[in-house]
Amino acid sequence: MKVTEVMTEIGGVAIASGGTAMNDDAILVTEDVRKIYRSGADSIVALEGLDLVVPQGQFVAVMGPSGSGKTTLLNCLSGLDEIDAGRVLVDGLSIHELSDKERTKHRARDMGFIFQAFNLIPVFTATENVELPLLLAGVRVTDARLRARETLERVGLGHRLDRRPMELSGGEQQRVAVARALAGKPRIVWADEPTGNLDSEMAVSVIDLLGELHDEGLTIILVTHDPAVAAHADRLITVRDGRLVEDKLLAGPDAREVREEVTVA
Ligand code: ADP
Ligand code: MG
């Protein structure tokens, strides 16, 4: 089923908040994206015929079995990886047609990334970990320090600024990683199983934080195995064998039944 059909089925509200009717407001548009992994004589079609329109400010959860293409989808749509066919437009910019340098710049300016592994630098403090990408992006040292501190305070770690990752809990480390993703004031955040390494209490704190950021207008594309995590999103897309097989709106009054169905699934 096409996105538009699903949206129409769910109702008028759905179109206003999630359908292709609002292309002008879309932050992300994909057109017939294909990704093939080749090794020797073997090739795996990891994404096929992927069409997606994400309006500015939407929180999208991506689910699907292991190996279905979720990470590939995130990496290809964010421009971390190349694609074999189709187009990906972020803010109207066809990201795979940019030069490496332009794409890196676009990523540093407009995107934040959160992964399952926190990927923090062990010898750096929380502040230094958050500062690093800012410095690499050319932000002045004093501004980078200030912004790193403000962002750590924003994620509730104002009392942990000088701690190294080893001296922090898993949930706190992931909050540092969230702060690192946010410090550059991105317009879109990509998260690949960000709660996968956290116990449920810590997972809740990270998801609540993402929810707050979404309330402030951030667009979030989040891959998860966990239906309880996905239930925080506005929209749930399901991939299987590299194809988008389901697309449901979870936000808005018409979506309550869908949300309940997801939560108990
Ligand atoms: P998911 O994140 O849903 O578990 P992935 O996107 O990681 O799935 O993988 C989708 C498919 O592509 C799987 O069959 C996987 O084995 C394959 N794949 C992923 N990355 C590579 C790679 N770098 N080289 C070859 N095959 C890959
Ligand atoms: Mg994955």
CATH code of the domain covering residue 247:
3.40.50.300
pTM of the model: 0.86
- The verdict on residue 118 lying in a domain is no
Q: Give the ligand with the smallest distance to the CA of 46.
A: 1
Q: Give the ligand with the smallest distance to the CA of 117.
A: 2
User: Which pLDDT tens digit goes with each residue over 153-188?
Assistant: 999 999 999 999 999 999 999 999 999 999 998 999
Q: What is the pLDDT of residue 22?
A: 46
Closest Cα to atom 21, ligand 1: which residue?
Answer: 37
Q: What is the pLDDT of residue 205?
A: 85
Domain range for residue 50?
Answer: 3-91+187-264
- The verdict on residue 137 lying in a domain is no
**CA 217, CA 219: separation in Å to the nearest integer?**
7
Q: Helices H, strands E: what count in the chain? A: 10, 10
Residues touching ligand 1 (Cβ under 6 Å) are 37, 39, 44, 46, 64, 66-72
- The verdict on residue 166 lying in a domain is no
- The verdict on residue 109 lying in a domain is no
- The verdict on residue 165 lying in a domain is no
- The verdict on residue 76 lying in a domain is yes
Q: What is the pLDDT of residue 251?
A: 77
Q: What is the pLDDT of residue 259?
A: 65
Cα distances (Å, whole numbers) of residue 231 to 44, 72, 164, 187, 200: 31, 22, 32, 22, 14
Spans of the chain, pLDDT less than 50: 1-22
- The verdict on residue 128 lying in a domain is no
- The verdict on residue 59 lying in a domain is yes
Closest Cα to atom 23, ligand 1: which residue?
Answer: 37
Count up the domains in the chain and report the number: 1
Contact 205, 176 (CB under 8 A): no
User: Which pLDDT tens digit goes with each residue over 34-63?
Assistant: 999 998 889 999 999 999 999 999 999 999
